[in-house]
Amino acid sequence: MTVSREIRLASRPVGEPGPENFEPAVTEVPEPEEGQVLVRNTWMSVDPYMRGRMNDGPSYIAPFEIGAPLEGGAVGEVVASRSASVPVGATVSHFLGWREYAVLDAAEATVVDTSLAPARAYLGPLGPTGLTAYAAFTRTAPVREGDVVLVSAAAGAVGSVAGQLARKLGASRVIGSAGGPRKTAGLLDVFGFDAAIDRHQGRIGEQLAKAAPEGIDVYLDNVGGDHLRAAIDAMRFGGRIALVGAISTYDATGPVPGPDNLFASAAREVTLRGMLVTNHLDLLPEWTAKAAGWLADGTLRTEETVVEGIERAPEAFLGVLRGANTGKMLVRLREER
């Protein structure tokens, strides 16, 4: 019997979550049954959307259960298999993170090609976060030649890829928002944005007016709140907004007011469209092929913030909600072989 450490939901937070909402546990992992595999996880992902799953309410994805391990993206090595399609030794991605070992149906494990990129890349630029940027800028709010593009939370996992992708799709000017001088400098020096807005340094709308005096055409919204209001004000006729996230509202304990300038979107025929990356998984092979090539030739640059050990997964998750990461926040569970 395999023994595994895991992190469980101890209680549901009211407002901002804290360490008290998580509980470490040790459990015995059963042997895989027919059609299943046992995976020794090496890396796991923590992502802002997980905050919503800590609440008990209807949403697009089921809430975490109190007393049960949390879930999320992970990659690891298959150490036992009762499936011909997923052999022992394969590296797979799956959705049972927050634990050191996972037993799952082989159909829920995706074998990844580590000759293209390290396994952890399939949690970031080659996985859901990179795909989110790609789907947003090719389907939800398509970027066209010559567009001026704004990305919020631009130093994060999705935003840092999105800014570079906008350029590849023909944007003439790419603007990113982030928190603090280190992150805004990284937008310019590492990720190649044309202008950076520091959300800690004054009103977003005033900074955006200086960065894009003639307005913007596309906005990828990871933040909501004042960022969405400023983007609506700056939109040119026929602009497109991809509503991907609203991290500024996730800890709210009551109703969150919408932008008070929403009618400006009607007057300029602006499209505001929500998106869930799970509805665009058909694009993943196409995206992976492109992104792997760009990673290899250096034209897609990424950064990671790595926390060591399953016991620090709650710390990593809380850090994401507070903006502690640059690029993808990952938890390394053990060294890759």
- Kindly state whether residues 58 and 153 are assigned to the same domain: no
The answer to whether the CB of 111 falls within 8 A of the CB of 92 is yes
For 250-278, write each residue's pLDDT tens digit. 998 888 888 999 999 999 999 999 999 99
pLDDT at residue number 257? 80
Residue 321 included in any domain: yes
Average of per-residue pLDDT across 293-299: 96
- Kindly state whether residues 103 and 7 are assigned to the same domain: yes
Residue 79 included in any domain: yes
- Kindly state whether residues 198 and 310 are assigned to the same domain: no
The CATH number given to whatever domain includes residue 222 is: 3.40.50.720
Residue 24 included in any domain: yes
How many structural domains does the chain have? 2
Q: Which residue range forms the structural domain that includes residue 322?
A: 2-123+303-332
Residue 283 included in any domain: no
**How would you label 7-33 residue by residue, b for 16+ Cβ within 10 Å and e otherwise?**
bbbbeebeeebeeebbbeeeeebeebe
The CATH number given to whatever domain includes residue 63 is: 3.90.180.10
Collect all residues with Cβ–Cβ distance below 8 Å to 27 and sequence separation of at least 6.
3, 4, 6, 99
In one-letter notation, the amino acid at residue 217 is D
**pTM, two decimal places:** 0.94
For 2-32, write each residue's pLDDT tens digit. 999 999 999 999 999 999 999 999 999 999 9
- Kindly state whether residues 81 and 149 are assigned to the same domain: no
Residue with tokens 């602006």: 270
Residue 323 included in any domain: yes
- Kindly state whether residues 132 and 270 are assigned to the same domain: yes
The answer to whether the CB of 97 falls within 8 A of the CB of 41 is yes
The answer to whether the CB of 243 falls within 8 A of the CB of 221 is yes
